[in-house]
Amino acid sequence: MSNITQTRASTQVPEQVDMRGPRFVAWVTTVVLVVTLLAAPSSAAAAAVILGVQAVVFAVGAVLGPRKHPYGLVFATLIAPRLGPVTDREPAAPLKFAQLVGLVFAVVGVIAFSSGLLLLGLVATGCALVAALLNAAFGICLGCRLYPLAARLRPKPRASATAP
């Protein structure tokens, strides 16, 4: 298959992932965010470190997508082989956007905890926790729901002039 054919095939059908993977990722993220909130009152520095690690995980998911996400790799390696065949899939692009939203909240939280703004750190972490828990427990991905709006706001690519 030529590169042109591969490119056309990849642009026509968006990347799809097993829906169970993002739910697993959301459960692990929920645990990490709860640990962050529990650590924050006694040590804002510890909360900043824990949330900083989660921010890196969010960044990997936002840039590389669900198949390269650290928790997603754990799911694919250890959990998925023990489950039945994939029955439902979802597109990867909204999941990447959801990870970007999580990254924004995590970065705000890290900066807040590091600056001694405990309340702001708790609120930012709490917002990320609510989103992760909604996805984990109920399959409601807030970032995925916001994705169509964000996609509409993205500038449209210009039609390139082709030379004869």
SS3 51: helix
Per-chain mean pLDDT for the chain? 84
Confidence of residue 11 (pLDDT cuts 50, 70, 90): low
Confidence of residue 51 (pLDDT cuts 50, 70, 90): very high
Confidence of residue 8 (pLDDT cuts 50, 70, 90): very low
Percentage of the chain modeled with pLDDT above 70: 87
Rounded CA-CA distance 128/66 in Å is 18
Query: What are residue 89's phi and psi, to 5 degrees?
Result: -125, 160
Highest mean pLDDT among 109-113, 136-140, 142-146: 109-113
pLDDT for residue 12? 62
Name the β-bridge partners of 89.
18
Mean pLDDT, range 117-146, rounded to an integer: 92
Confidence of residue 146 (pLDDT cuts 50, 70, 90): confident
Mean pLDDT, range 75-86, rounded to an integer: 78
Percentage of the chain modeled with pLDDT above 90: 45
Place of tokens 């928790």: 71
Place of tokens 């900083």: 52
Q: DSSP letters of 21-32?
A: HHHHHHHHHHHH
Rounded CA-CA distance 120/107 in Å is 11
Name the β-bridge partners of 16.
91
**Prediction pTM value:** 0.79
